Amino acid sequence: MRLFFRKLQEKVFLILTLVNFIVGSTLILPRILNAKPLLGNYKNLCFDHYATSELSENNSNLEKIILDLPDRAKIPIPIYRKYSVNDIARSIIKRWVSKEKEFENQINFSEGAIVDMSNDVDIVLHFWPRDLQSIIEKGFINLHQKGTSNGNRDIKRRLKIEDANIGLQLGSSLKAIQLRPKSAFLNIRADVDIGEVMAEDLISQFGEIGAVMKSEVKRRSLWVASDSFKFGYERSKTLDVSFQKIMHFMGTFFRGKLPKRIKERYFETLILGELSLDDVDHFVVSSPDLLGILKPIGIPVYLGHWEIRNGHLYNNTKFKQLFGN
């Protein structure tokens, strides 16, 4: 009998050990198993088109509600209760697409550049190595969620600026804060001239690791031909969000042309909704020393030469594969 219980105890211990290993590995294993193979040409890495999939009736109703909201209106609280944050984010972008079509003839990009926004631009969110563990646990969070920022830290003013830029009052509930934008850079890989962009060492301010987002993230993002805080500051005082004015300097990734800007620091991207490592296509790092902390995640890593040239954050011809299947 004692032998029976000893063997039973050993089996239970073995099962518990196995379960503990599996549960403890859930943050890493799915990313390793699902890591994408690297293609020979970096330019094609983000070729996963973000074409709209079939919408459920539930999401169609949400899009209609958001589309019918007057400019500068508050998003109703029941919307946050009923729908996911990312579904609301995509519906806000659909509202922007509708406005772009409505005012298409008033958007003068005669000096701009035609760009394939699905294949020739990337959304790149920079962060510091010290923030990686927090990102693994919580995802990428915005200023309102973490209380700090590499940019302007005026939280009250930023709330108004975000509302002015987006064209709706998002609110301050927990889900509204999750919906509010995360700032990233727009990397324009196409060989086009979009005006003079000021050379500046952005890595020293925003972080050594660049997370290049999957193309699907573009479905809930806006680009800004400037720093979004500076761009929205004056309008936030009056909540003047005339789309005819905004769309000369902001837009969705469904539009195929970018304006030419003079002496701007960079093109910015505002990502709405929740964002995690599952949304990252690959990393770009400035030093091979950073491979050690990124490799266990299972996402491809590139060594990239940082530069700013006509809106290009990286010289892609100098990329070197460090990790990836």
Q: What is the pLDDT of residues 181-229, one digit of tens each?
A: 999 988 887 676 666 555 556 677 788 899 999 999 999 999 988 777 7
Contact (CB, 8 A) for 321 and 160: no
Contact (CB, 8 A) for 93 and 222: yes
Higher pLDDT, 90 or 311: 90
pLDDT for 269-320, tens place per residue?
Answer: 999 999 999 999 999 998 899 999 999 999 999 987 666 555 555 555 557 7
User: Is residue 264 classed as helix, strand or coil in its secondary structure?
Assistant: strand
Higher pLDDT, 109 or 127: 127
Alpha-carbon gap, residue 9 to 3, rounded angstroms? 10
pLDDT tier, 266 (very low <50, low <70, confident <90, very high otherwise):
confident
Residue 206, pLDDT score: 84
- pLDDT over threshold 60, residue 102: yes
Tokens of 212: 């290049």
Which residue matches tokens 């995360």?
182
Tokens of 310: 């006509």
State the DSSP code for 324: -
The residues near 70 (Cβ < 8 Å, ≥ 6 apart) are none
pLDDT tier, 54 (very low <50, low <70, confident <90, very high otherwise):
very low
Contact (CB, 8 A) for 220 and 66: no
Residue 1, pLDDT score: 52
Across 75-163, the runs of DSSP E, i.e. the strands, are 113-114, 121-127
Burial of 302 (0-12, 13-18, 19+ CB in 10 A): buried
Round the average pLDDT of the chain to a whole number and report it: 76
Residue 114, pLDDT score: 78
Q: Is 115 left (phi over 0), alpha (psi -120 to 50) or beta?
A: beta
**Least-confidence region, from 102-106, 107-111, 263-267, 294-298:** 107-111
Tokens of 297: 């995640």
pTM over 0.85: no
Contact (CB, 8 A) for 280 and 93: no
Residue 286, pLDDT score: 83
